[in-house]
Structure 1
């Protein structure tokens, strides 16, 4: 395990002030192409049709970094279920939700295939929207989830909120609501991780997803502790070998104006409970929130925590 520097910041922020960016790190998760990753994970045919899925290598890295064997990993919008597969393969319990029957069928098949390959932890997928997490049916999950790991998905159907609705607003509203549903379920020491595919404005410029993701987390009382670039390109010495899809290459070729580069990463934002940040600041001898902002702290990612919120020895 490694120590990652983090910078707590006061909640709520003063009017008009934007949250600071957390420290940046890079995950070398693109050494194998997506098809090879899916084959190695034992995913069933059709999984690759989920264009918003979290690549298995990225899911495996996040699960290994922020959880221990036996922890519960939740994906509130799991798609075809790559997060569920990697959680089971890593010896974690897992639960996924999806409102699309096509994804539910694939995720269920992936869980079955992973269990048939020897995974013995509990894993299930529910045909339901993330709103289920805010009902009495999810009461047994409160304070039990070690990691919420999910992708920022393209709104479809009812989630798109109509043809005249701003698509960026749809993204923000969907993510903010999901984060609010998940926050009460996190145990002390747990993390919420959002993985986003880079998106471009009509002029080809990359959208600022990090600020939007941080704002969504802050709306639920979560503190951003790390911003990561999870590579989808392979590292060959000092070169990056891009693995862009045909659709991405065609979009780049058809872009108007200045040429645009192919993306080679996923944007990843890692959050923790504000209460955990407050405890860590107190343990470091600083006050929360003012002194903590001026004195960034060190913490061990993936450490075990007791019910009282203190890290176990």
Structure 2
């Protein structure tokens, strides 16, 4: 309450700061939410992948791959996955009329990716796909030199943690039996090397991919945070910084790809047995963990030289286009608020 015996304070004129120099302001990264978890993974794969595909515990969700391919490429484009696993990126690409090339370190998964490609072709997929077995850090020696400058999209997911989801079978009287919960026991696999070495490897891999990207090509990665020794590791943030600072790629979009289903205003989880078990154990120990409902889809752009960019407009010498406005077909356009070029 004010004191009526005291004079009211003299009103002050609010101070305003000058508008910032547009040249010094970093534009916000577009963000959109993709409804990619409306169907469970097993439904998304049913009939479209060979049954043995369930053995890989760290698969990319088919709807995420399909959405990214539709958003960032055109029919006839080439899609590359340098860590292709069982070939989800490749299968969704050739089913969408793109050609696809994959590299996979583990021989069993490379062979399974080839089987999935053959299966997709037998069902009418119009694109062509190939898989090379080897270390993606040596990708320049694995791929056909004819691919240099032709890839429109690099779409992949880094390995983080040797044990992910897997399968379980409940056996009366003996509890739960786990299987297919590790995708590698090779200590040289990037799943085993720790965060700093993983970031270094991802920089090496994406640097190696760049000569194969066409000007204005896109690099997209699905990635999520993970827990290690009770601490959440911000892998999306660390990876964004490493790639932006060390590869010359420009961050274009950061999308939210839902792993849960959206039903009106409610999220329906698609959590695995392992995820639920970890959450319950943490909460029993007083740690307020929550189920992961999405993956970040980080999208980077390879710098491109605009056609006619030597012509500058206006007295400020502004180029006619910028790296944030290149569509997958190489036409310079303006991105809408969702981050998808239109």
Q: Following TM superposition, by how much is the alpha carbon of 1:20 offset from its aligned partner in structure 2, in angstroms?
A: 8.6
Report what 1:262 is aligned to: 291
Q: Following TM superposition, by how much is the alpha carbon of 1:281 offset from its aligned partner in structure 2, in angstroms?
A: 12
Q: Unaligned stretches of 5+ in structure 2?
A: 1-22, 163-183, 334-342
SS of 2:207's partner is helix
Report what 1:35 is aligned to: 42
Aligned partner (choices 296, 301, 318) of residue 272 of structure 1: 301
Deviations 1:76-121 (A, max 9, x none): 1100011111001100000111121110121011000000001132
Report what 1:26 is aligned to: 33
Q: Following TM superposition, by how much is the alpha carbon of 1:225 offset from its aligned partner in structure 2, in angstroms?
A: 0.5
Q: Is the 8 A contact 2:97 2:125 kept in 1?
A: yes
- Aligned positions of 1:51-130 closer than 5 A: 51-130=57-136
Distance 1:286 1:265 in 2: 45
Report what 2:204 is aligned to: 177
Report what 1:237 is aligned to: 264
- Aligned positions of 1:182-197 closer than 5 A: 182-197=209-224
Q: Following TM superposition, by how much is the alpha carbon of 1:201 offset from its aligned partner in structure 2, in angstroms?
A: 3.7
SS of 2:51's partner is coil
Distance 2:270 2:315 in 1: 45
Distance 2:110 2:142 in 1: 22
Calculate the aligned-residue CA RMSD, in Å. 3.3
Distance 2:315 2:62 in 1: 39
Distance 2:314 2:212 in 1: 28
* Aligned residue pairs, count: 284
Distance 2:189 2:104 in 1: 16
Q: Following TM superposition, by how much is the alpha carbon of 1:198 offset from its aligned partner in structure 2, in angstroms?
A: 3.1
Distance 1:46 1:287 in 2: 59
- Runs of 4+ in structure 1 off by over 6 angstroms are 277-288
Q: Following TM superposition, by how much is the alpha carbon of 1:142 offset from its aligned partner in structure 2, in angstroms?
A: 1.1
Q: Following TM superposition, by how much is the alpha carbon of 1:30 offset from its aligned partner in structure 2, in angstroms?
A: 0.7
Report what 2:325 is aligned to: 299
Q: Following TM superposition, by how much is the alpha carbon of 1:134 offset from its aligned partner in structure 2, in angstroms?
A: 2.0
SS of 1:103's partner is helix
Report what 1:15 is aligned to: none
Report what 2:178 is aligned to: none
> Whose Rg is larger?
2
Q: Following TM superposition, by how much is the alpha carbon of 1:140 offset from its aligned partner in structure 2, in angstroms?
A: 1.5
TM-score, reference length from structure 2: 0.73
Distance 2:149 2:30 in 1: 27
Pair 96,193 (structure 1): closer, same or farther in 2 beyond 3 Å: same
Distance 1:261 1:134 in 2: 41
Q: Following TM superposition, by how much is the alpha carbon of 1:197 offset from its aligned partner in structure 2, in angstroms?
A: 3.5
Which shifted more, 59-68 or 244-253?
A: 244-253
Q: Following TM superposition, by how much is the alpha carbon of 1:192 offset from its aligned partner in structure 2, in angstroms?
A: 0.5
Q: Following TM superposition, by how much is the alpha carbon of 1:222 offset from its aligned partner in structure 2, in angstroms?
A: 0.5
Distance 1:158 1:271 in 2: 30
Pair 105,63 (structure 1): closer, same or farther in 2 beyond 3 Å: same
Distance 1:162 1:297 in 2: 33
Deviations 1:22-79 (A, max 9, x none): 2322111110011001115x11112122222211000000000000000000001100
Which shifted more, 102-111 or 189-198?
A: 189-198
SS of 1:251's partner is helix
Distance 1:282 1:162 in 2: 48
Q: Following TM superposition, by how much is the alpha carbon of 1:136 offset from its aligned partner in structure 2, in angstroms?
A: 8.0
SS of 1:193's partner is strand
Which shifted more, 223-232 or 148-157?
A: 148-157
